[in-house]
Amino acid sequence: MESMVRPQDLPDQFTELYDLSKEYLLQETVEPAKALGRQAGLGLGGAAVMALGAFLLAWGLYFGLVTAFPAGEWWRVLAKVVTAVAAVIVAALIAWRTSPPTMKDSI
């Protein structure tokens, strides 16, 4: 014979269901989201440091070229152009090396 829930047990059943649902929600969604947020924060922080380093390297290249070239406004323009071209080449190399392989590459 089936046992039926008595009406006086319903509040306890609902409380238990609520507590179980809350615990499941914390375990399966909130905790992984916190871990993911922590990893995303570390990734963004690392990207910011790398971007600052790339900027400082480009700036150093520019001022190194300015001191290496003779004095004059057009030499400064040339230093800016060389720095910009070098930055684009480095960015293209990084994008090329970090891009995922295509089907053609894996054959």
- Over the stretch 3-41, which tens digit does the pLDDT of each residue have? 676 777 788 888 888 999 988 888 888 888 888 888 999
pTM as predicted: 0.59
Determine contact, residues 96/106, Cβ cutoff 8 Å: no
What ranges do the domains of the chain cover? 8-106
Q: What is the distance in angstroms between the CA of the first residue and the CA of the last residue of the chain?
A: 65
Residue-wise pLDDT tens digits, 36-71 = 888 999 999 999 999 999 999 999 999 999 999 999
DSSP 26: I
Residue 65: CA count within 13 A, CB half-sphere: 18
Checking if the pLDDT of 2 tops 60, the result is: no
